[in-house]
Amino acid sequence: MLEETFSPLVPTDASESFYAKFYNQFCFIQVNDVFFRLLKEHLAEEEKDELLNTLNNFHEDIDMAVAFSLGAGIMNKGLMRKRKENRGISIELFNCLKLENLDPLDWNIKAIEFLMVYAICEQAVKEYLVSKGNNSREIKEDKLLYTLFNELGKSNLKDNFIKELKNGSSSIITSQNEIISAWRYYTLFRHTLAHAGGRTTERMKAKMEEVISKNSKELESISSAMFIESSEEIFFKSPFENTVISITDKHLNFFRNMAILIVESLERAINPNEYEISDFNPYKL
C-alpha cells in the first residue's frame, strides 16, 4: 500500500460505467502529475529564486490591464480604482514553508493530486450508489463507505467486496471497519485542503485527534500489517505540525493505492470473473 504505484486495472467492455470513468480520470491525473514533476525538476534553483523575486510585491498586472483597457477605448472604473490601491503578490507563505523544510512546489503538486484522487474515488462510489436508488445529496464524504457497505449488504456483494479489499491490499486491509477508519482519517485531509486551503486549524487538529483515538484499533492494525519489521512506526498520526497540513510521499502513496483499491474492489465484486488472467506468471517480466 506504500509503493509508488499508479497504474489501475484496465476496464473491459463489461466494466461498470463508474469504473471506466474513474479509470480515465485517474490516468489523466497521473499523466498531468508526471508533467508537473518533470517541469519542476528542470527548473534550476537560480531560476526559482529569480522568479520569486520577480513575483514578490508584483502589481504590474493592474497597470497592464488598464493600458489594454484604455487602448481598446474602454474606461474601466474598477481597474482605475484598483490602480490607486495597495495591491501586490506576497511570497511570505512560500518562504514560510521553506523555513519549515517543506518544498512549496512539491506540497502544492501533492495537494492537487490528493484532492483530485479523493474526488474521483468519491464520485465513482456515489455513481454506483445512485444507480441503486440512493439520493446523492444525502451521501456525505465521511459516511460514504458506511452507505456503500449498507448497499452492498442489500445486494449480497459485501463479502465479495471485503474479499477483494483483502486480496488487493495483500491482507493489509481485511475488514469493513479498517477501510472505513482509513477513509475517515483521509477525509480530514480532504476537508482541510478543500475548506482551509491546507492551512492547519485548531478545529481540524481536534477532529483528527478524535478520529485517531476512536479508530485506534483499526488504524494500528493496518500499520502493523504494513510495518512488520518496525511495528513501532506510527503511520496514522496527526499531519498538523506545521503551518499547512503535512502530505508525505508515504501518505499520498497509501491514499492513491487505497482509492484504486476501493473502486477496483467494487468493480471486481460486481464482475468477479472479468479480470482473471489464466496464464499469468508473476515471475515473468
Q: Taking the model in full, what pTM does it have? A: 0.87
Predicted pLDDT of residue 146: 95
Predicted pLDDT of residue 276: 65
Q: CA 143, CA 163: separation in Å to the nearest integer? A: 21
- Return the amino acid letter for 9: L
DSSP helix/strand/coil, 238: coil
Please provide the size of the chain in residues: 285
What separation in angstroms does the CA of 199 have from each of 174, 184, 242, 244, 249?
33, 19, 9, 4, 19
CB-based contact 11:24 (threshold 8 Å): no
Predicted pLDDT of residue 264: 95
Q: CA 98, CA 78: separation in Å to the nearest integer? A: 36
Question: Could you list the mean pLDDT of each consecutive 10-residue stretch along the chain, which spans 285 residues?
Answer: 78 91 94 89 84 73 59 61 67 90 93 97 97 92 95 96 94 96 97 96 96 96 79 83 94 96 96 68 51
Predicted pLDDT of residue 47: 84
Q: CA 19, CA 51: separation in Å to the nearest integer? A: 41
Predicted pLDDT of residue 128: 96
Q: CA 30, CA 21: separation in Å to the nearest integer? A: 14
Predicted pLDDT of residue 46: 85
